[in-house]
Amino acid sequence: MAWIVYVHPRAEDEIVDLPAKEERSMRLAMAKLEAMGRALPFPHSSNIQGADDELRELRPRRGASPWRGFYRDYDAFSVVAAVGPEAARDSRGFDGAVDIALKRLAEVVDE
């Protein structure tokens, strides 16, 4: 069975709002996640220190992108819930995007 990557509608809006090069990089990173599922290794994906243990960051261009996709894996799929800046460049923006991702994921689970 293939791994599926769902994108929260508001996260899709955030992806579309990225600069064109960064949007392409994020979509390529999501395609890698779809191809490899939870086996997607670092530097393409990473745990988020201090956040929910199951929340991960998608790291386009092997982490060289200034943007991150915040997602959680489930049984046979992942949900990308938010997009935000890389932590070292904008720690407040990163933390805010993590909070948004957690809230959106809670909505998904409730539905």
How do the domains of the chain map onto residue ranges?
4-110
Would you state the pLDDT for residue 109?
64
Place of tokens 């943007």: 67
- Looking at residue 7, its pLDDT comes to 97
Q: Which residues of the chain have pLDDT under 50?
A: 111
- Per-residue pLDDT, 49: 79
Which tokens belong to 84? 């935000």
> What local confidence, expressed as pLDDT, does residue 52 receive?
66
How far apart are alpha carbons 33 and 85 in whole angstroms?
Answer: 19
Res 108: pLDDT? 76
The Cβ-side half-sphere exposure at 71, using a 13 Å CA radius, reads 29
pLDDT on residue 89:
94
pLDDT at 54 (0 to 100): 87
In this structure, which topology does domain 4-110 adopt according to CATH? YaeB-like fold (3.30.2310)
| Whether 55 contacts 12, CB under 8 Å | no
